[in-house]
Amino acid sequence: MGSLDANCIASPRGFSPLDIDDFRQQAHQTVEFICEYYKGIESHPVVPQVEPGYLRRLLPETPSAQPMPFAKVLSEVQATVLPGMTHWTNPNFFAYFPATLSSAALCGDLLASALNPVAFNWLSSPAVTELESLTLDWLAQLIRLPKGFLFSAGGGGVLQATTSEAVLCTLVAARKMVLERAGHDGADKLVVYASDQTHSTFAKACKIAGIAPANIRIIPTAREDLFSLRPDSLRAAMEADAAAGLLPAYVCATVGTTSSTAVDPVAQLAEVAGRFGAWVHVDAAYAGSACVCPEFRHHLDGVDRVDSISMSPHKWLLTGLDCCCLWVRDRARLTTSLSTDPEYLKNRATESGLVVDYKDWQVRPSSFPHRSPTAKNSVALKLFMVMRCYGTANLQSHIRSDVRMARGFEEMVAADTRFEVVVPRRFALVCFRMRPRRAGADGEAEADAANRRLLEEVNNSGGIYATHTVIGGIYVIRFAVGTTLTEERHVKAAWELFRAKADAAWEAAQ
């Protein structure tokens, strides 16, 4: 491109980056590109065979001065980006938790990108703000949250990008609540609680909010409790802190932990926390989606006693990334801790008190366009389109289908005497391993090595991708069913792969 200091010469016909005919043609090309990609999705290895730095070897070091035809850019993406992708939409992807998406979500996303509105306050985009409030009220009803979380009762929901932000915002609100009640600014006295199974998002939020590391209580869990947080352990920790003159401020309970989908007993934890006036947040990022089915809803029992709850439809409710929903029971507590009110945003709608200004509900929308949109502008629209296009009936059937497939996998594991299910499956994640061949620490160490080897071999085959965790000191393979395209045949083939490689992996690891 010659010298970067030179001015570049633009196209003589002028530059119209939103020309309708160009957009129509390019968008239709992109749609066809995507259809081809999905058609061939199983032909890609799930995890790419690339070395760190591969992409810089394929693309120039400096940006191009001149435009490149759209079709050529698409071909370049095909040739350089796709080979380095971990294919999260591949039906043989069983790693982490699935990233579900759907046609309705993709179209909703595109539509919202094209509208490109910014909803930091009501006036800046009434429809987007109101759609977000309404859609969150709908979803609250779908997972049967108590009425107190609806807007009509003083609560309300907001879209956050991820659980990280949901935890951070509620932690900031809790900090303000507890310090005001205590009547002093001793932020260094605040104590927060979670189990050792809580997502690391919690530790990160504490770090960012400046909670003193010594005041973060990570309470151990045990296999005999299925790795859920014991209320008596929480009570003991809180009592000790209160006795030491500290301020118990925040409890993060999880419904469906990342490692093993353990469920903390929400009602009992809320009862304990209530005695100390601490804020209780429920992180139901993964399992919250399952609660659209009545048979899973009991996992949220006690949610009427907590202050906030978040769940992520981008995990298991077909919306694609990013879509995390946070509800609070007292919206004023959240907004007073996060609001800013600069002159250039003053307007009559806000002063009327009749509207929601989402800038005061999150980290991002500090207040001004683009620096601070409400989550991604698109999120409410795609969540709306998913709920509207599919209806509760199909969303329930989608969850049940994944659970049924996971149950099938669990049964196959249980039927093979070399294997064991380490914790009973609750949703669509199966945690399993090859059993130790002898008792004691040495047997456990052998089993860890063998299972590690097995997972490596299965993943290196390129056929599927699963991940691991270590729970209760045991190396465990996590098999998460649920990408949108996964069918029973993929689950069966995956099990065949584990089964076929088991003995050799054991031998090789010893």
Q: Which residues, numbered 42-101, are part of the site for a copy of itself (CB under 8 A)?
A: 47-48, 50, 52-56, 59, 61-68, 70, 73, 76-77, 80-89, 96-97, 99, 101
Nearer to a copy of itself, 328 or 381 (CB): 381
Stretch that binds a copy of itself, among 218-226, 325-333, 439-447, 464-472 (CB under 8 A): 464-472
Size of the site for a copy of itself (CB under 8 A): 177
Residue 481 sits at the vertex; the CA angle it makes with 476 and 486, to the nearest 5 degrees, is: 140
Nearer to a copy of itself, 467 or 499 (CB): 467
Nearer to a copy of itself, 228 or 260 (CB): 260
Task: Select from 5, 224, 232, 351 the one that contacts a copy of itself (CB under 8 A).
Answer: 5
Structure tokens at 465: 């991708």
* Residues 6+ away with beta carbon under 8 Å from 212: 188, 190
Q: Tell me the backbone φ, ψ of residue 340, rounded to 5 degrees.
A: -135, 155
Task: Select from 158, 174, 178, 209 the one that contacts a copy of itself (CB under 8 A).
Answer: 209
Task: Select from 147, 207, 275, 437 the one that contacts a copy of itself (CB under 8 A).
Answer: 207
Please state the closest distance from residue 36 (CB atom) to a copy of itself, in A. 9
Of 187, 28, 98, nearest to 429 by C-alpha is: 98
CB-CB contact of 151 with 133 (8 Å): yes
Task: Select from 45, 92, 94, 109 the one that contacts a copy of itself (CB under 8 A).
Answer: 109
The answer to whether residue 404 forms part of the interface with a copy of itself (CB under 8 A) is: no
CB-CB contact of 491 with 485 (8 Å): no
Task: Select from 19, 411, 442, 488 the one that contacts a copy of itself (CB under 8 A).
Answer: 19
Site string for a copy of itself, 111-140 (x = CB under 8 A): x-xxxxxx---xxxxxxx-xx--x--xxx-
Which of positions 161-190 make contact with a copy of itself (CB under 8 A)?
161-165, 168, 172, 175, 185, 187-188
Please state the closest distance from residue 252 (CB atom) to a copy of itself, in A. 12
CA atoms of 235 and 232, how far apart (whole Å): 5
Torsion of CA 73, 78, 79, 85, to 10 degrees: 130
CB-CB contact of 70 with 23 (8 Å): no
Which of positions 229-268 make contact with a copy of itself (CB under 8 A)?
258-259
CA atoms of 141 and 149, how far apart (whole Å): 9
Strand partners, 476: 469
Please state the closest distance from residue 232 (CB atom) to a copy of itself, in A. 26
Of 169, 137, 207, nearest to 375 by C-alpha is: 169
Of 288, 258, 282, 256, nearest to 268 by C-alpha is: 282
Site string for a copy of itself, 339-358 (x = CB under 8 A): -xxxxx----x--x-xx---
